[in-house]
Amino acid sequence: MMVMIALSAAAQEPQGGAASTPASASASSSESRKVTKAADRRLRKQVAGALARTKRLDSSRLLIFARSGVVTLSGEVADAEQAALAASVAQRVPGVSEVRNRLRINPQAR
């Protein structure tokens, strides 16, 4: 009777056994990270392009980070108007869910 229970349990185990499950989950996780990083790079480039095209804004000293729709702006701008303009432009880029404005005001940044 014990042998039949053991054989029945072994027959119900998915083909490839439990050893293949972690490997496939790891491969899936790795692929998911690659897709997420590519999307973050794409969003960063879109924000950088939008900022570069904005009149009255010198984006040459701006750093842009993107992660899962959250964009962080850092670096220096000449005045508070440029800081607000940069944040506003970044917020309007499709895919941006939040803008974190870490820009510093430096009047010599002109």
Q: What is the pLDDT of residues 38-63, one digit of tens each?
A: 999 999 999 999 999 999 999 999 99
CA dihedral sign of residues 91, 97, 103, 105: positive
Query: What pLDDT band is residue 22 in, cutting at 50, 70 and 90?
Result: low
Q: Return the structure tokens found at 83.
A: 């800081």
Map out the domains of the chain as residue ranges: 27-109
Q: Model-level pTM?
A: 0.73
Q: What is the pLDDT of residues 74-100, one digit of tens each?
A: 999 999 999 999 999 999 999 999 999
- For 60-64, which contacts have Cβ atoms below 8 Å and span 24 or more sequence positions? 61/109, 62/86, 62/103, 64/90
Contact assessment for residue 90 and residue 73, using Cβ atoms and an 8 Å cutoff: yes
Contact assessment for residue 99 and residue 85, using Cβ atoms and an 8 Å cutoff: no
Annotation: CATH topology of 27-109: Histidine-containing Protein; Chain: A; (3.30.1340)
